[in-house]
Amino acid sequence: MCTDPREHEETASCSYVMSQKVKDPERLLGEIAFQLDRRILSYVFQGQNRLYGFTVLNIRDKIIQVSTHPLTGKVDEGYRLQLSQRYTELMAKLKQLGYSMTLHPPFTEFIINTYGILKQRADSYSARELGYNSPDFLRRVVINSAPSKLLKDLLLLFSCLSFMARQDGKPLFLW
């Protein structure tokens, strides 16, 4: 690991060197998109343990689905309102960063489907060693590996993920 012994943090030049040695940088692009999608869903559906089949692209339908009783069809209006408010508040914050509800959910899905996600989940020690929780490192990977036509929007997804991590005080990648 490349660290400054006085500060115990990566330096910018060290981050650059590490980003040049990433095994699957394209998969890391997909992982960033996937992590943002999951982070948004986890924020909106805080009570849901499983989010299988949920994406930000279908979030409105999922709000309706989870707030409707599957047998009776009775709608829990209070719960639906709570989910919708969380979603609206978060989208307003992400919009300030440039996130577009019409562009970025399908773009996220495209990135995940095109590049995949990391094959193996890292434990917290490995994630730190690999630089997966270093904003400088991950930003450098995006800059070095993203096709130029996708760079602006990939950096925006990364900025949104970084923002959410700062807001909730959790690592960039949640496994």
Q: How many CA atoms, within 13 angstroms, populate the side-chain half-sphere of residue 75? A: 10
Q: Using one digit for the tens of pLDDT, what is the confidence trace for 41-56? A: 999 999 888 999 999 9
Q: Using one digit for the tens of pLDDT, what is the confidence trace for 117-148? A: 988 665 555 556 567 788 999 999 999 999 99
CB 40 within 8 A of CB 48: no
The pLDDT, as a whole number, for residue 157 is 98
Q: Which residues contact 54 (CB under 8 A, 6 or more apart)?
A: 41, 45, 48, 62
Look up residue 170 and give its DSSP letter. -
Does residue 28 sit in helix, strand or coil? helix
CB 29 within 8 A of CB 153: no
Q: Using one digit for the tens of pLDDT, what is the confidence trace for 86-115? A: 999 999 999 999 999 999 999 999 999 999
Report the share of the chain in percent with pLDDT over 70.
82
How does residue 17 score in pLDDT terms, banded at 50, 70 and 90?
Answer: very low
H or E element that contains 69: none
Residue 70 has pLDDT above 60, yes or no: yes
Residue 59 has pLDDT above 90, yes or no: yes
Rounded to two decimals, what is the model's pTM? 0.84
